[in-house]
Chain A
Amino acid sequence: MATATFRIWRGERGEGQFRDYTTETSEGMVVLDVVHEIQAEQAHDLAVRWNCKAGKCGSCSAEINGMPKLMCMTRLNTLPLDKPVTVEPMKSFPHMRDLVTDVSWNYEVKKRIPKFQPRRPDAPDGTWRIAQEDVERVQEFRKCIECYLCQDVCHVLRDHHMHDKFIGPRFLVYAAALEMHPLDVADRIPELTKDFGIGLCNITKCCTKVCPENITITDNAIIPLKERVVDRFFDPLSKLFKVFGGSNT
C-alpha cells in the first residue's frame, strides 16, 4: 500500500476550488476506486456520476491531470503518483456539483438529427439484402458509449462555446453512422453544412485522441462527411456548370 494525493474539484455551479485528499492506494486501482474511497472515508457528499465501472456506460467522464478520460478506465499505474493527481469535471457543459456536469444539451442535439429511414424492402417478404462490406463500415461508429469526452475536448465547444451552431464530434459520428448505413435513404447533407456546422471542425483530431472506444472519429466519420458536403455544395466543376448551365442544383 502506498499513499497518494488527489486534488479534486469541489463546488457548485462553476464556483469552487480544488481540495486535496490523501488516501491509501493499492495495485490495480482505478481513479474511480479512489474517488469512491475518498467519498466513503473523507467526503461523503462528494458528487460523482458513475455506473458500470467497466468503461461501457459512459457516465464517469472527467478530466484527470487535464486529460479527458473515463475515471473507471484510468489505472493509477498510468499516472505519476509522486505529485497530486487532479480530477476535474468536464468543461464543455454547465457545471452542477463537484465532478457532475449537466450533459442534457447532447440529448437535445441528438433529437435534431433526422432519424434512420430505410429504403423499401428488397424482397417481397419484407427483407433486405446488404453487402458485408457495407455493414462493416458503420460498425465502428456503433461502439460509441456517449461519454461525451470528444465533446468535452473539442475546442469549438470547449473554448468557443458554439453549442448552438455545432453539434460536436459525437453527433457527427452519429450522423455518419446513419449516412453510411446501407439501408438509409434520408439526406442529412444540407443540415450538416448549415444547422450542424460541420465546417467549424478544423480536424485537430483531439476527439479521436480522447475516444475511450478508439473510434477513428476524424478520419472515418467527419472527413467523409465533409467530402460529401464539398461534393454537393462546393465542387468547383459543378459550380461552373451552374453558372453556365442554368439552374442545375
Chain B
Amino acid sequence: MGGVRVDGDSQMSDVPGLFAAGECAAGLHGANRLGGNSLSDLLVFGKRAGEYAARFAKENALGAVSSQAIESAEKCALQPFERKSSENPYAVQHTLQDVMQDLVGIVRTEAEMLQALERIRELKAKSERVSVDGNREYNAGWHTALDLSNLLTVAEVITRAALERKESRGAHFRDDFPAKDEQSGKFNIVARKGTNGEVQLAHEPIPPMPQELQQIVEEMK
C-alpha cells in the first residue's frame, strides 16, 4: 500500500524532520492492509514517530526559513481570492474523485489509467484557475482550493505507480495482468519530485527480512 516512505524504526521520511505514521505512511503492510491492522499500526508507530520526532527536535536547532519562501507560499495561497475566473474548486475536487473511482479503482487496466493521467493533467490546469470569494475565516471553498494541488499530486502518483506495476498483488488488481509476478515482488516503486516538478518513478529493492523476524515466521509455520 502506498504512502510516505519512512524509516521503519524512526518513522522519519527522506525529508529531515518530517515524520509519518499510520495510513499515510508506507511500507509496513506490504501490498494490502488487512482490516483492523491500521489501528495497531498507528498505536505502535504513532508512538515511535512521536518519540523520534521529539528526539529530533531536541537534537536539531530550528532550521532557517527563508522569508522569500514564506512570501511566495503566502502569495500562492491567496491567489484563489484574486483570480477573476469562475472555476469552482468543489467541481474540480468532485471530478477528480469520479475520475479516480472510475479509472483507477479496484479493477485497473492500462488503457483506463492512461486516460486517467490525461484527465488529471486537464484538472491540474483547471485547478490553477479556481477562484473563491469571501474572507480567510472558516472559508471551506478556499480550503478546497488549497487542497487541490495535493490531491492532484497524490492522484497522479497513485496512477503512475499502478501503471508501472504490471502484475496483480494484494489490493492492486490489474485486469490486463491478473497474475502475481515473482520479479515484481522484489521491488517497491518510489516516486520522487523531479527537477522540473514532474513525478519520477524508481524501482528500489525490498530490504531482506531481518533475521529475528524470519525466525518468528519460521516458528509460526
Contacts and interface: CB of A to CB of B under 8 A. Distances in A.
B140 A47 contact: yes
A141 B137 CA distance: 34
B141 A39 contact: yes
Contact of B140 (A41, A48, A96): A48
Interface residues of B, number: 16
Given A39-B90, A45-B132, A97 B137 contact: yes
Given A44-B132, A45-B132, A45-B133, A96 B90 contact: no
Given A39-B90, A40-B94, A44-B88, A98 B138 contact: yes
Contact of A44 (B90, B94, B137): B90
B90 A47 contact: no
Given A40-B94, A44-B132, A45-B132, A96 B137 contact: yes
A56 to B, nearest CB: 17
B195 to A, nearest CB: 35
Most A CB within 10 A of own CB, among B90, B91, B138, B139: B138
A12 B138 CA distance: 11
Contacts of B137: 12, 47, 96-97
Contact of A41 (B90, B133, B138): B90
A116 to B, nearest CB: 24
A44 B138 contact: no
B210 interface: no
A100 to B, nearest CB: 5
Contact of A97 (B88, B94, B138, B144): B138
A183 interface: no
Contacts of B138: 47-49, 96-98, 100
B35 interface: no
A97 B141 CA distance: 14
B63 interface: no
A41 B93 CA distance: 12
B134 interface: yes
B134 A45 contact: yes
Interface residues of A, number: 14
Most B CB within 10 A of own CB, among A12, A40, A46: A40
B89 interface: yes
B66 interface: no
Contacts of B134: 44-45
B183 interface: no
A96 B94 CA distance: 28
A46 B90 CA distance: 13
Contacts of A39: 90, 140-141
A12 B88 CA distance: 24
Contact of A45 (B88, B91, B94, B142): B142
A49 B138 CA distance: 8
Interface in B115-171: 132-135, 137-142, 144
Contacts of A100: 138
Interface in A51-91: none
A82 B140 CA distance: 29
B121 to A, nearest CB: 23
Most A CB within 10 A of own CB, among B94, B133, B134: B134
A78 B154 CA distance: 40
A47 B94 CA distance: 19
Contacts of A98: 138
B139 A40 contact: no
A210 B135 CA distance: 33
Nearest to A98: B138
Given A39-B90, A40-B90, A47 B141 contact: no
Contacts of A49: 138
28 contacts: A39-B140, A40-B88, A40-B90, A40-B91, A40-B94, A41-B88, A44-B89, A44-B90, A44-B132, A44-B134, A44-B139, A44-B144, A45-B133, A45-B134, A45-B135, A45-B140, A45-B141, A45-B142, A46-B140, A47-B137, A47-B138, A47-B139, A48-B140, A96-B137, A96-B138, A97-B137, A97-B138, A98-B138
Nearest 4 A/B pairs, CB to CB: A44-B141, A45-B134, A47-B138, A40-B90
